[in-house]
Homo-oligomer: A and B are copies of this chain.
Amino acid sequence: MRGRRQLVKVKATDIAQMPSPADVIFDALREAIAKGDISEGQVLRQDHIARMFNISRIPVREALTRLEEQGLVSTQRYRGAVVTTLSIAEIREVFEFRALLEPEILRHSIERLSPEALERAKEFAHAFATEPESSRWGDLNRRFHYSLYEPAGRPYYLQTISTALDRVDRYLRAQLVLTDGMARARREHQGILDACIAGDSEIAMRLTREHILGAADSLVAFLIRTRAQESSER
């Protein structure tokens, strides 16, 4: 030890973990697509994005490559990246996929749900239910569910669920805002939460499954209406 001074006062952050420019662009684009701020079918020009972030096209390309790997954009050689449009069948498939996975991770989570985690879930449910600003519903909905899934200690499940949700998030948000989805989600969240508090994983799983499939049905009905309208308007 030899009286060496320690720099105990500075709080060190791991600089190597800091996000690279490509990370920043990737996250920004992913969020914009999920929120629907960039609409489907839109072409993403490398140069345009590069100017927006005041950087060269190289990190932009990396971000686009990653978005394509996640299925959020699709690229044709020399033709640029286009925000993916999902068919109704594809959307339905992703929701059924979620309806399979999310109850399962919830089961594992309930087994080890701490009072603190439960408390946080309650807070998110409340924040979601009372949020007046519709643009934040999507986020809060997601946080509520994730707070229930994280204690499961299943990072791979969680990551898979997350990428699945990213794919359909913009449709889900539309469903919340433009249909009766919000009122229904409030009720169903409360039901899931009650089952978790009671520690009844069977009911929590069933409700979660119904929550997802119900949203899917409502969304699909909504999309059939709006897409029929769009194509007749054109």
Chain A residues packing against B (C-beta within 8 Å): 16, 18, 20, 61-62, 65-66, 69-70, 76-79, 90, 93-94, 97, 100-101, 104, 154-157, 160, 164
Distance between Cα atoms of A66 and B100 in the complex (Å): 27
Interface SS of A by simple majority: helix
Q: How far is the CA of A90 from the CA of B153 in the complex (A)?
A: 10
Docked CA distance A20–B61 (Å):
15
Quick one: copies of this chain in the complex?
Answer: 2
Let me know if B160 and A97 touch, CB within 8 A: yes
Contact A16:B154 (CB < 8 A) given known A70-B69, A100-B104: no
Question: Which of chain B's residues have a CB closer than 8 A to the CB of A154?
Answer: 93
* Contact residue among B16, B66, B156 (Cβ-Cβ distance under 8 Å from A77): B16
Measured CB to CB, the nearest residue on chain B to A94 is B156
Q: Which of B69, B79, B101 contacts A66, CB < 8 Å?
A: B69
Residue of B nearest to A23 (CB): B77
- Nearest-CB residue, chain B, relative to A66: B69
**A76: chain B residues within 8 A (beta carbon):** 16
Please list 11 pairs of residues, one from A and one from B, whose beta carbons are closer than 8 Å in the complex, sorted by A's number. Answer: A16-B79, A18-B77, A20-B77, A65-B69, A66-B69, A69-B70, A97-B156, A97-B157, A97-B160, A100-B100, A100-B104
Residues of B within 8 A of A77 (CB): 16, 18, 20
Closest residue of B by beta carbon distance from A108: B96
Nearest to A157 among chain B residues (CB) is: B97
Q: Within the assembled complex, what's the spacing in Å between the Cα atoms of A79 and B90?
A: 39
Which listed residue, B62, B100, B155, B156, touches A65 by the CB 8 Å rule?
Answer: B62
- Asked whether A100 lies within 8 Å of B101 as measured between CB atoms, the reply is yes
Please, how many angstroms separate the alpha-carbon atoms of A164 and B93 in the complex? 18
